[in-house]
Amino acid sequence: MDEESFHAFYEQTARNLRGYLRSMLIDPAMVDDLLQESYFRLFNANLPASAEYGHRRNYLYRIATNLVYDHRRARRLEELPDDLAAVQAPATAQDIGRAFRRLKPKDRDVLWMAYVECFSHKEIAEVLRLRSASIRPMLARARARFADILRRRNIGE
Amino acid sequence: MEMPTPECPEESKISAALAVGEIPAYLLPHLSTCPICAAIHSTAMQMRLLASHLAAEAAPSATSMWWRVTLRMRREGVRRAEKPLIWMTRISCGVAALTAALLALSIPMPSHPAAEIGCLALSAVVIPVSIILWGWSRSKI
């Protein structure tokens, strides 16, 4: 990957990937470390220059997901505090963030990939190394749990 | 045995429309009556609100990330290139220590006090130097 194509790919993916990492981890410094590590590993993987954008993006997410899980394992499942972000934000976004952080990591993964990245079920299955057929019920359960947490916190749907 | 999750035949159309960013008019009446599709739509909207909130935090620039990634690649390259040298150093340290030990065993112990002191002084230098080199080569891995 040359500098120009790296820049283009980074511009397309970094914001959402950082958002994903931010939603999974507490420490903003760790978020940027894992972001850098993800791009480093992608770069190091030497994917063929002809690799499609979607393939690169899925590969990047697979790396990031593994890094998050390794990090959580190393930190013995750090529990996520309620204050999702130190940055100021509209109350609803923060409330949604708080509810989101109450979900299990796998639920957060599938919801983020399905509704932020708009990955297909097949793509989610590839990233998470699961069977494609299991994604739809996983998503349904994650949605239900998310709605339940929001409801209990009186956050409108 | 898990309960099968309820399914709606329009689910995939709603998901596709959400990916595009616009719900076509013909799906709107369905969306207002189907709880499954309404839940999908509502979750997607909440997730996007959350994503846009999180994306507001500044990510490192592409230039800085390129610089960091390539710098790290170079460091990794140097580390990989150094590895055989470090192993060579370790092996030579080991061979030198072995040779010194064999020589010490093969040479009859001199009876003259000055020669004894010389041998002891030599050992006092060779042994710590070997240990230091060994330690240094380990720290480089």
Any idea where the domains of chain B sit in the sequence? Answer: 11-55, 77-139
Measured over the CA atoms of residue A51, residue A57, residue A58 and residue A59, the dihedral's sign is positive
Interchain contact B50–A (C-beta under 8 A): yes
Structural domains in chain A? Answer: 1-79 (1.10.1740), 85-157 (1.10.10.10)
Interchain contact B75–A (C-beta under 8 A): no
Cross-chain residue pair B65–A14, CB shorter than 8 Å: yes
Would you write out chain B's pLDDT as a tens digit for each of its 141 residues?
556 777 888 888 888 888 888 888 888 888 889 989 999 999 999 998 888 888 887 888 889 899 998 998 899 888 888 888 888 888 888 888 788 777 777 766 666 777 777 777 777 777 778 778 777 766 655
**Exposure of B39 in the CB half-sphere (CA atoms within 13 A):** 20
Could you tell me the CA-to-CA distances from A19 to A22, A61, A101, B36, B49 in Å, in that order?
5, 12, 13, 27, 11
- Ordered DSSP codes for B80-141: HHHHHHHHHHHHHHHHHHHHHHHHHHHSPPP-SHHHHHHHHHHHHHHHHHHHHHHHHHHHT-
Helix, strand, coil shares of chain B as percentages rounded to 5? 80, 0, 20
Which residues fall within 8 angstroms of residue B24, CB to CB, at 6 or more apart?
B17
For residue B139, is it left (φ>0), alpha (ψ between -120 and 50) or beta?
A: alpha
Interchain contact B3–A (C-beta under 8 A): no
Residue burial A124-134, b: 16+ Cβ < 10 Å; e: rest: bbbbbebeeee
Chain B interface mutation, best of A11, A15, A57, A60, highest count of B Cβ atoms under 10 Å: A15
Chain B interface mutation, best of A83, A103, A135, A143, highest count of B Cβ atoms under 10 Å: A143
Interchain contact B43–A (C-beta under 8 A): yes
Q: ipTM of this predicted complex?
A: 0.76
Could you tell me the CA-to-CA distances from A55 to A39, A47, A114, A133 in Å, in that order?
14, 9, 16, 20
Helix (H, G, I), strand (E, B) or coil at B7: coil
Q: Which residues of B touch A83 (CB under 8 A)?
A: none
Cross-chain residue pair A16–B55, CB shorter than 8 Å: yes
Question: What are the tens digits of pLDDT across the range A2-45?
Answer: 888 889 999 999 988 999 998 888 777 788 899 999 999 998 88
Helix (H, G, I), strand (E, B) or coil at A123: helix
Phi then psi dihedrals of residue A46, to 5 deg: 50, 55
Interchain contact B15–A (C-beta under 8 A): yes
The position carrying tokens 């499609």 is: A52
Overall pTM > 0.80: no
Could you tell me the CA-to-CA distances from A37 to A41, B9, B23, B51 in Å, in that order?
6, 41, 37, 21
Cross-chain residue pair B5–A87, CB shorter than 8 Å: no
Cross-chain residue pair B5–A140, CB shorter than 8 Å: yes
- Residues B50/A93, Cβ–Cβ less than 8 Å: yes
Q: What is the mean pLDDT of residues A60-80?
A: 79
- pLDDT of B28 reads 87
The position carrying tokens 């996520």 is: A80
Helices A3-24 and A105-115, axial angle in degrees (round to 10): 130
For chain B, positions 79-138, list CB contacts with chain A under 8 A: none
For chain A, positions 1-30, list CB contacts with chain B under 8 A: 3, 6-7, 10-11, 14-16, 18-19, 22-23, 28
